[in-house]
Chains A and B, each alone.
Chain A
Amino acid sequence: MPEITIKYFAALREQAGCSEERRQTAVASAAELYRELQAEYGLSLDIQHLKVAINNQYCPLTQPLQNGDTVVFIPPVAGG
């Protein structure tokens, strides 16, 4: 199975309980990956509130995942 690195920021980091993890997954896209993580960690943010970057490039949530990809889910942040 492909291995993916996931980095968590803001509320997602709090809920996942870590800043980064590696996981083997059979999911096809970033959106499917988020749903898998949501089910596992009970992530409260709806996917429509998130952006995703794969290998440091923002991309659509439908983007297919490849072995070795680094995926960052980014919630909106406004504090100052």
Chain B
Amino acid sequence: MSDRSEQLYYSRQRILPEVSEAGQARLKAARVLVIGAGGLGCPALSYLAAAGVGILGICDGDRVALSNLHRQTLYAFADVGEYKVLAAAQRLAAANPFIVLQTHRENLGAANARELVCSYDLVLDCTDNFSSKFLIHDACFFEKVPLIQASVYQFEGQLQVYIYQPGEACLRCLWSIQPTPDCVGSCAEAGVLGVIPGLLGTWQAAEALKLLLDLPGQQHNETLLLNLLSNDLLRLRQSPDPDCPLCGQQPQIHDLLAAAPAVRVPGELRPDQLDSLSPQQSRYRWIDIRSAAERAESSDWIQHTEHIPLEDQDALRALAPERDCLLFCASGQRSAQLLQSLRAAGLGHVYALAGGLQALDNR
């Protein structure tokens, strides 16, 4: 591919005085990591690749599922079952041959998060759970790599930019400890309109380009809050907290906290705490609490486990005490919530798989 083609590829953005030749060269020299190639990650990756970010990293351990396609627009129907990082890299490389794509299929945990983020200039958090969001945030804080974080819920989204400089607030200035999974729903549980992660992921890409090109109006010390149903767009100002456990005057967090998936609820078990990862050999009675639709898309071995969907509360509350039960769902959120309520109802023989099936896939 000729230099001339590359020049033409970016010509419409390079004629912007704010971009110009120098800005385009800056983008080409930039290394950006997108963690999570899902609803937020797909549009973020598309626009960063097309804008000419020279080294674009994609980190995700999941495979494409049919229920992803309504919002994860990088993937084709035929990609179902393929690793997201591979399908995404293929699609992006075809769209822009002038950039380098780096894929990271590994599980992101306390052991590797800092090492991963420190080889990039900027990180976009496009993940879908609190454990990952806090882990990535803290890793970026310690490595002083700017982070653009977004989260969505049904018809709404939030976006924050953290640059980890003196006078800047961090995530833990607001949420000093990680919220428990029971105080919010996941996309699988609460539902999400595909355009919401589409909008927020695109917005993350826009903030990334502003930061890389040093454009005016960069977000910091604020939460951008979008409600599609009311068309409200709020910018909530945040001040650094001198008592913040991470960036405050007397920090209490000095390195990444315990390995993900974190066990947050009594009775949650990490994969390494189980006697066997094979339900047939395990002393636990493995119970899939996901919906029938989610289950239908799963691997063969899961079809051999028992299925009691979350809605069937009567059956779940009547689980026989003769054998310890291990509840599992996709990410560990629903199973942890159910575990709490069953334990509160006196079912001491019930356990839940921390991190859900994702934690098994990532092993």
Contact = CB atoms under 8 A, between A and B. Distances in A.
A complexed with B: yes
Given A9-B225, A51-B174, A53-B236, A80 B156 contact: no
Interface string B112-145: 0000000000000011111001000000000000
A11 interface: yes
A72 B192 CA distance: 22
B239 A80 contact: no
A80 B154 contact: no
Interface residues of B, number: 43
Nearest to B200: A80
Interface residues of A, number: 24
Contacts of A51: 174-175
Nearest to A70: B234
Contacts of A53: 234, 236-237
Chain B binding site: helix, strand, loop or mixed by DSSP? mixed
Interface in A40-69: 45-46, 49, 51, 53, 56-58
Given A49-B183, A56-B234, A72-B234, A78 B156 contact: no
A11 B227 contact: no
Contacts of A74: 158, 223, 225, 236
A25 interface: no
Given A51-B174, A58-B239, A75 B184 contact: yes
A74 to B, nearest CB: 7
Interface stretch (B2-10, B32-40, B75-83, B246-254): B32-40
A51 B160 CA distance: 15
Given A78-B133, A79-B151, A49 B179 contact: yes
Contacts of B291: none
Chain A binding site: helix, strand, loop or mixed by DSSP? mixed
B232 A19 contact: yes
B186 interface: yes
A77 interface: yes
A53 B224 CA distance: 12
5 closest Cβ contacts across the A-B interface?
Answer: A80-B128, A19-B230, A76-B179, A49-B183, A53-B236
Interface of A: 7, 9-11, 13-14, 19-20, 45-46, 49, 51, 53, 56-58, 72, 74-80
Given A9-B156, A11-B190, A58-B237, 6 more contacts: A9-B225, A13-B156, A13-B227, A20-B232, A53-B234, A79-B128
